[in-house]
Each structure stands twice: as C-alpha cells, then as structure tokens.
C-alpha cells in the first residue's frame, strides 16, 4: 500500500482526482484506526493518466514514492472502447458539452470502414480545447470555460489499430490501440469530418494501459471496503 500501484475501474461521473481523494481518505482513516500519524509520503497519492469525467475504465493510481514514476506511465500506449454518435457535434467533443444536429447524411457500412482506415498509423491530431493541456501555464479547459480563445497546435500521434466493433447509425462503436497523447474525443470529431456528418464521443472506456488490464482493476467501492 505505501509504495505501489492500485488499478481502479473509474466510474462515469467521477474525475480522476475524485478517485485519488477517496483513496487518500481511506489511507488516512486506516492509519487513524491504528492511532498512527501518517507521513507526507504515506499520504502521497497520484494517478498516471487522466480519464475525463464521462469516461470509465482503467485508472492507474500511484502511492508514495511510486508517484515519482507518473511520467513513465503517461508515455505508455493504451486501448480504448468508444461509442461515437454521428450527425451531431458537441462543444466539448463529449456528452458534457452543448450538442447540436449537424447532418442527416447516413454513411454506409463500407463508407465507415473506409473512413476508419484513414486513422491508423501516425496521424495529425489537434487536442480538444476542453483538455488539461497547459497553455502559458494555464489549463486549456479553464481558459475555454472563461470564454477565452484557445488555440492548441496540432501534434503527431500514433494509432496502432482501429477496429469497427458495431455500426448502427447514428451509433458507431470502435476499439482502438493508441500511443501516448492521443485524444479519442479528437479522433471522434475527425471521423465525423471525414464522413461529412459531424460526430462526438458519447461513451469512452479505457481497458488497457500497456500490460495493465481492466480485468485486474477494482471498483472504487470494492477498494474502499477492503480491510
């Protein structure tokens, strides 16, 4: 517990920091029950890779001195399952933004498959303005919420594989294995542009971070209930 890794299956509606706070609270209570005052190191809790509040899945939580390795974990590749909604766009690229209808065009299954093939290998992507990327020392999402103009430069990202899981318009479900720094919300938006329908990421689940899998993760309530 003091220096290590906890794999958590983050629920929808929670921020990654909500999970960190709950785990830190449990550690504090565990020490209090033993009448021990914990050190700062023993209360040090962090995470390795933010999941958006609407997203679920694998969150790597680091304890104690393991928090010093957070940057190493951030560089690892990841696997996501996502549901993309075609014909609509969101100001945030996800269900938390203002959603508007953009097109009644219904792409065929073959058109979808052809479009998805364009998003494998090294691609150019522009991260969403509602993201934790820092611009002049400030988080992009804070600037965007304040109504300030946010310009995030494009970047090169790697998509190792992009699999069509199910297509039933307007719902498009995919599974993708991506490199560090890839935004699935941006991928959804770009797929919508390619199909000329518009799109946003309606649901997102992270199932793998390198060799760490969601099968080994615990729900937050399960972890909190442990002795």
Distance CA(28)–CA(5), nearest Å, equals 17
Q: Do 31 and 87 lie in a common domain? A: no
Q: Residue 110: what pLDDT?
A: 98
Task: Output the six-digit token pair for 48.
Answer: 């390795």
From the list 9, 52, 94, 190, the catalytic residue is 52
Q: Do 84 and 69 lie in a common domain? A: no
Pairing of strands 134-135, 138-139: antiparallel
Please report, rounded to a whole number, the percentage of residues in the chain having pLDDT higher than 70: 88
For the ranges 1-10, 43-52, 60-69, 131-140, which has the lowest average pLDDT?
131-140
Q: Is residue 87 within 8 Å of 104, Cβ to Cβ?
A: yes
C-alpha angle 180-182-183 in degrees, rounded to nearest 5: 140
User: pLDDT tens digits for 64-104?
Assistant: 999 998 889 889 999 999 999 999 999 889 999 999 999 99
Q: Residue 3: what pLDDT?
A: 63
Q: Do 93 and 200 lie in a common domain? A: yes
Q: Residue 154: what pLDDT?
A: 82
Instruction: Find the Cα–Cα–Cα–Cα dihedral 26, 28, 29, 31, rounded to 10°.
Output: 120
User: pLDDT tens digits for 127-155?
Assistant: 875 555 555 555 555 555 655 566 667 88
Q: Do 58 and 22 lie in a common domain? A: yes
Q: Residue 13: what pLDDT?
A: 95
Q: Answer whether residue 208 shows pLDDT above 60.
A: yes
C-alpha closest to that of 45 among 66, 76, 29? 66
Alpha helical stretches, state H, the chain: 16-33, 70-74, 109-117, 140-145, 184-194, 220-225
pTM of the model: 0.89
Q: Answer whether residue 227 shows pLDDT above 80.
A: no
Q: Do 132 and 163 lie in a common domain? A: yes
Q: Do 60 and 92 lie in a common domain? A: no
221 in catalytic set: no
Residues spanned by the domain of 192:
78-209
Q: Answer whether residue 180 shows pLDDT above 70.
A: yes
Q: Do 99 and 27 lie in a common domain? A: no
CATH at 38? 3.30.2350.10
Distance CA(68)–CA(108), nearest Å, equals 48
Please say whether the dihedral angle defined by the alpha carbons of residues 84, 86, 91 and 95, taken in this order, is positive or negative: negative
- pLDDT-derived band at 22 (thresholds 50, 70, 90) equals very high
Number of domains in the chain: 2
Q: Do 69 and 84 lie in a common domain? A: no
Neighbours of 73 (CB within 10 A): 19
């Amino acid at each position: 517990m003091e220096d290590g890794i906890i794999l958590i299956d983050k629920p929808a509606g929670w921020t990654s920091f909500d999970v960190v706070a709950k785990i830190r609270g449990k550690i504090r209570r565990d020490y209090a029950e033993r009448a021990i005052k914990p050190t700062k190191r023993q209360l040090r809790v962090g995470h390795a890779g933010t999941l958006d509040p609407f997203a679920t899945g694998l969150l790597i939580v680091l304890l104690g001195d393991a928090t010093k390795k957070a940057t190493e974990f951030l560089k690892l590749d990841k696997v996501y399952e996502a549901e993309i909604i075609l014909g609509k766009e969101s100001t945030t690229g996800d269900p938390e933004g203002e959603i508007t209808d953009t097109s009644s065009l219904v792409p065929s299954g073959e058109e979808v498959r052809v479009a998805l093939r364009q998003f494998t290998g090294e691609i150019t992507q522009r991260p969403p303005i509602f993201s934790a990327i820092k611009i002049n020392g400030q988080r992009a999402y804070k600037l965007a919420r304040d109504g300030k103009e946010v310009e995030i430069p494009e970047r090169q990202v790697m998509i190792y594989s992009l699999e069509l899981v199910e297509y039933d318009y307007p719902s498009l479900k995919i599974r993708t294995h991506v490199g560090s720094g890839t935004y699935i919300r941006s991928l959804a938006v770009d797929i919508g542009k390619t199909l000329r329908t518009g799109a946003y990421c309606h649901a997102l689940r992270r199932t793998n971070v390198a060799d760490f899998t969601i099968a080994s993760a615990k729900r937050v309530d399960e972890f909190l209930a442990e002795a």
